[in-house]
Amino acid sequence: MKNKLLKKIQERKIIVGVIGLGYVGLPLAVEKAKAGFYTIGFDIQKEKVKLVNEGKNYIGDVVDQELASLVKQGQLSATDDYSFIKTVDFIAICVPTPLDIHQEPDIQYVKQSAEAIAKYLKPETMVVLESTTYPGTTDELVKPILEKGSGLKCGRDFYLGFSPERVDPGNLIYKTKNTPKVVGAIGDEAAEVISAMYSAVLDSDVYTVSSPAVAEMEKILENTYRNVNIGLINEIGRLCHKMGISVWEVIDAAKTKPYGFQAFYPGPGLGGHCIPLDPYYLSWKAREYGFHTTLIENSMVINDGQPEYCAERAMHLLNRHKKAMNGAKILMLGISYKQDIDDYRESPAIRVYQKLKEFGAVVEYYDPWVKEFKNISGEWIRGICTLTPELLETSDLVMITCAHTGVDYEMVQKHAKIVFDTKNVMKNIKRRENIEVL
């Protein structure tokens, strides 16, 4: 099986299937197709399937022309019919892994995908889970489902592995194609073949580890490392505020040290699919072993409380200007979770918005990337279409919650009564009498 698959990879005869056509799956499907492998994208959302088959892009990290060209050439297609799994030789599972209402792992989409694959899994197929998850998912959940549902034996009839996605939406340098890949598989042959498949597609190193569990844990480590360090700087920021010290100046000074320090920055909280969620996966799994991830859980508490902290800071700022929060008109600038993207998954700005509303404020937002968003209660909120001097002048407070580059911050400073900048995006503005920084 190994030699046969390696030969098919070399000859570009592998048919690729990608399950989940979101921020991870669609860029991966495009890169597989660009590398010469016929690729089928699978998704339960009919609208996504329709858009892909029409060559219409909806993901920022995908080049519109490339998607349209691949579809036109017949190199890439999409379907919601999972029976086509029986035609593919390589399957990448790229589905969401959110938290449930109890802040515990919700892996229903991984489980459902594995069950759908098992019905049609044929011998000599590679299956790779890319969705971020807790260590043990590939071995303990996916493998039994595939074996039971297909009647095939892992390692003998098909190969199974884990290769964590490393998608950073909006990153202008590192995309799917040039970001190093980690692969952990069940068995040496599986690791060799799956690594060869990624090497045939990517312009980056493929680093093979000894097992799926190692690969699953390293992904959790990547994001927990950032969560903990951001939690540290958010706590330092709160202390600096009480002490009358600029945390931003402190960081700028500290990062002059050429070794032993990496700069992290405070903000209104953590957003995106990985950094706010992954530590919960790890702490949940750790309890199975009677282990409490105290440091990690403390950072989660700090970061989870940052939106409320920022809303309270806004309230105190208004009070200092003899204005009550209840009934105050607040304009938020930015709703996406990071600058210059349209992704607002887990965005802390949404929680800030919600908390300001709970405090009685009249809240509007402007975001050139996000025209509308779904709030915590499932209601769609539409943003202001144009940022004008009049809008700024009639707001009691302008609160910057995302550092978009396409905003005229000189105009904001000139016309706003009070500015609360939680991202320090206005650091180069000379006149600062109406600006307070987090």
User: Which residue numbers are catalytic?
Assistant: 274
**CA separation, residue 87 to residues 3, 16, 91, 128, 329 (Å):** 19, 9, 10, 16, 57
| Cβ within 8 Å of residue 393, ≥6 positions away | 415, 416, 417
| Cβ within 8 Å of residue 127, ≥6 positions away | 91, 93, 117, 121, 142, 146, 158, 159, 160, 161
User: For residues 295 and 44, what is the distance between their CA atoms, to the nearest angstrom?
Assistant: 39
| Cβ within 8 Å of residue 267, ≥6 positions away | 230, 234, 306, 348, 422, 423, 438
| Cβ within 8 Å of residue 164, ≥6 positions away | 130, 132, 182, 215, 216, 218, 219, 222
Q: What is the 3-state secondary structure (H, E, C) of 127-165?
A: EEECCCCCCCHHHHHHHHHHHHHHCCCECCCEEEEECCC
Q: What 3-state class would DSSP assign to 380?
A: strand
Residue 293 DSSP symbol:
-
Q: Residue 80's CB: how many other CB atoms inside 10 A?
A: 14
Q: Residue 203's CB: how many other CB atoms inside 10 A?
A: 11
User: For residues 94 and 82, what is the distance between their CA atoms, to the nearest angstrom?
Assistant: 15
